[in-house]
C-alpha cells in the first residue's frame, strides 16, 4: 500500500452538457495502482479515457464517482503538486516567454530560491538540449523544442512523480528517442513516471507496466514483460548457423517432442536503423550508402 504512488478506485467521469444531461461517459469504474519507481503506461486509442484519467489525477476535472489518491493525498489537494511534474498533451506554455523565463516562472511557483532556480534552469536546459535556443520566445519553437521545454518545466521541481501526456506525440524519431531516454533516465533516478500514449512501440520500449483502456474501461493491466511473453514458445538467439547445423537442431528438437517453427535472421527496428543512419551521417558528412549497404550496428 505504502509503495503505491497512485491509487484509483472505481473512478468514473461523465461529461455533461449545459443542462446537466450526460453527454459522454469518458471513464467507467476505473481501478488501478501505480507503484513507486515504475514507468506506468496508459494505453488506448483516441477517446479511450487516458487523458481524462490524467486530468482527474491532477484535479483539472472532477470525478463523477470514485476516489483518487495521489502521493497519499486527494486529487484536489494543492500541496501534492509540490512533488508532481506534469507535461500536458500539447505544451500549453506561455508563448511570449523564452525558455529561461519559462523555467524561472514555473520555478517561482515552488519554494525555490533565485539561485536554485538559476541552477536548475541551467541543468534542465542542458538536459533537454535547448542551450542554443534558451533566449528565444517559445512561439518561435518547433514542436520538438516545445515538447522539450514542456518536459523541462515538468521537472523544474525535481518531482517524485511525473505525469506525461503523450510525451512523444509529434516528435521526429530522434526527438522520440531522446524523450524515451529521458523517461528511462527519470526512472533510473528513482522517480515514478505515468505516461499516456497510443504509440505502442514507445510504450513497449520504456514502460514497466501498462494498462489498456478502451472506451473508458480498463481492459488489461500488468507488466509489459508478462503481458507480451508467450510461454508456449521458446526463442533461441545464436551466432549465424549453417543449414547443416539447423538441420541437426531440428532433429534434436524432434527427438524431444518439439518442432522448429521458424528460422530467420533477427531484424532491428526501423527506429534503430534511422538513428544509426543519422548518427553515421553526422559522423561522416557527405557519405552515401550504396544499395544494400547498411550503417554499422553500433547504437547511437
Partner 1 sequence: MVVEVNPFDLTLGIVYWLLVMVAIVVVGLIVGLVASLAAYGSSGPRRMALTIQRGVRDLTFLSPRRIMAVATLTFKEAQRRKAFMIGLLFLALFMFGGWFLGGAGSDRAAKPYVIFVMTSMSFLLIVMSLLVSCWGIPADIKARSLHTVVTKPVRRSEIVIGRMLGYIGVLSLVLAVTSAFGYFWIWQKVPASAQNQLIARVPLYANEVQFLDRTGTLSNTGLNVGDIWDYRSFIEGGTNSRAIWKFNNLDVASLKRDGKLRLEQSFEAFRTYKGDINQQLRYTLSLYNPTTKLRVPVGTYQVQEHSADAQKTTVEIPAELIYRDSYDLDSPEKKVQVFDELFDNGSLTVEVGALESQQYIGVSHHDMFIRLPDRTFLATYVKASLGLWLLLVLIVIIGTTSSCFVKGPVATILTGSLIFVGFVFRGRIDTVLRDLAANSAPIGGGSFESLYRLATQMNAVSPLPENIGTDVIKTLDQGVFGMLRVVNALIPDLQYFNTSEYPANGFDVPWAGMLLPSLVITIGFLIPLIILGYFSLQLRELEHK
Instruction: Enumerate binding residues for partner 1 (CB under 8 A).
Output: 15, 23-24, 55, 58-62, 76, 78-79, 81-82, 84, 86, 88, 90, 92-94, 96-97, 101, 105-106, 108-111, 137, 153, 157
Supply the minimum distance, in Å, between the C-beta of residue 60 and partner 1. Answer: 4
- Cell digits of residue 208: 514497466
The answer to whether the CB of 72 falls within 8 A of the CB of 81 is no
CB of 86 to partner 1, least distance (A): 4
Residue number with CB closer to partner 1 (79 or 226) = 79
Residue 49 and residue 216 in contact, taking contact as beta carbons nearer than 8 Å: yes
Rounded (10°) angle between helices 143-154 and 99-108: 20
Q: Which three-class secondary structure state does DSSP give residue 188?
A: helix
Nearest to partner 1 of 23, 119 (CB atom):
23
Closer CB to partner 1, residue 98 or residue 276? 98
Cα–Cα distance measured from residue 148 to residue 177, given in angstroms and rounded to the nearest whole number: 12
The nearer residue to partner 1, 54 or 275, going by C-beta atoms, is 54
Q: DSSP class of residue 83?
A: G
Q: Which residue has the cell 516528435?
A: 171
| Pure H helices in the chain | 50-58, 99-108, 114-128, 143-154, 173-188, 200-206, 224-228, 243-255, 270-283
Cβ at position 298, least distance to partner 1 in Å? 39
Distance of CA 67 to the CA centre of its chain: 25
Separation between Cα atoms, residue 291 and residue 224, nearest integer Å: 37
Nearer to partner 1, 97 or 224 (CB): 97
Q: Work out how close the CB of 45 gets to partner 1 at its nearest, in angstroms, rounded to a whole number.
A: 17
Kindly state the smallest distance separating residue 39's Cβ from partner 1, in Å: 20
d(CA 202, CA 39): 12
Give whichever of 134 and 278 is closer to partner 1, judged by the CB atom. 134
> Shortest approach of partner 1 to residue 211 CB, angstroms?
21
Smallest separation, CB 192 to partner 1 (Å): 16
> What is the Cα–Cα distance from 72 to 83, expressed in whole angstroms?
11
By beta-carbon proximity to partner 1, the closer residue of 88 and 167 is 88
Kindly tell me which of 27 and 210 has the beta carbon lying closer to partner 1: 27
Please say whether the beta carbons of 94 and 105 come within 8 A.
yes
Q: How far is the CB of 69 from partner 1 (least distance, A)?
A: 16
C-beta of residue 219 within 8 angstroms of C-beta of residue 213: yes
Amino acid at each position: 500500500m505504502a509503495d503505491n504512488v497512485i491509487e484509483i478506485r472505481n473512478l468514473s467521469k461523465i461529461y455533461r452538457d449545459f443542462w446537466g444531461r450526460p453527454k459522454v461517459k469518458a471513464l467507467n469504474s476505473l481501478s488501478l495502482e501505480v507503484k513507486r519507481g515504475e514507468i506506468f503506461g496508459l494505453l488506448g486509442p483516441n477517446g479511450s479515457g487516458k487523458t481524462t484519467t490524467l486530468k482527474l489525477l491532477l484535479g483539472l476535472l472532477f470525478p463523477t464517482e470514485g476516489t483518487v489518491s495521489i502521493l497519499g493525498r486527494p486529487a484536489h489537494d494543492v500541496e501534492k503538486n509540490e512533488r508532481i511534474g506534469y507535461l500536458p498533451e500539447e505544451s500549453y506554455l506561455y508563448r511570449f516567454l523564452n525558455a529561461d523565463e519559462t523555467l524561472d516562472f514555473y520555478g517561482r511557483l515552488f519554494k525555490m530560491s533565485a539561485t536554485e532556480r538559476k541552477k536548475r534552469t541551467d541543468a534542465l536546459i542542458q538536459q533537454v538540449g535547448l542551450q542554443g535556443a534558451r533566449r528565444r520566445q517559445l512561439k518561435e519553437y518547433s514542436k520538438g523544442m516545445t515538447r522539450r521545454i514542456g518536459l523541462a518545466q515538468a521537472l523544474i521541481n525535481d518531482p517524485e512523480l511525473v505525469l506525461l501526456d503523450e510525451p512523444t506525440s509529434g516528435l521526429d524519431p530522434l526527438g522520440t528517442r531522446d524523450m524515451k531516454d529521458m523517461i528511462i533516465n527519470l526512472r533510473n533516478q528513482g522517480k515514478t513516471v505515468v505516461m499516456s500514449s497510443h504509440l505502442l512501440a514507445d510504450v513497449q520500449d520504456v514502460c514497466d507496466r501498462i494498462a489498456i483502456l478502451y472506451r473508458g474501461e480498463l481492459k488489461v493491466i500488468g507488466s509489459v514483460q508478462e503481458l507480451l511473453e508467450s510461454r508456449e514458445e521458446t526463442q533461441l538467439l545464436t551466432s549465424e548457423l549453417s543449414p547443416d547445423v539447423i538441420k541437426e537442431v531440428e532433429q534434436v528438437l524432434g527427438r524431444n517432442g518439439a518442432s522448429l517453427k521458424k528460422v530467420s535472421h533477427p531484424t532491428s527496428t526501423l527506429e534503430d536503423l534511422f538513428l544509426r543512419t543519422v548518427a553515421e551521417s553526422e559522423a561522416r558528412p557527405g557519405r552515401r550508402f550504396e544499395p544494400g549497404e547498411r550503417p554499422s550496428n553500433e547504437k547511437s
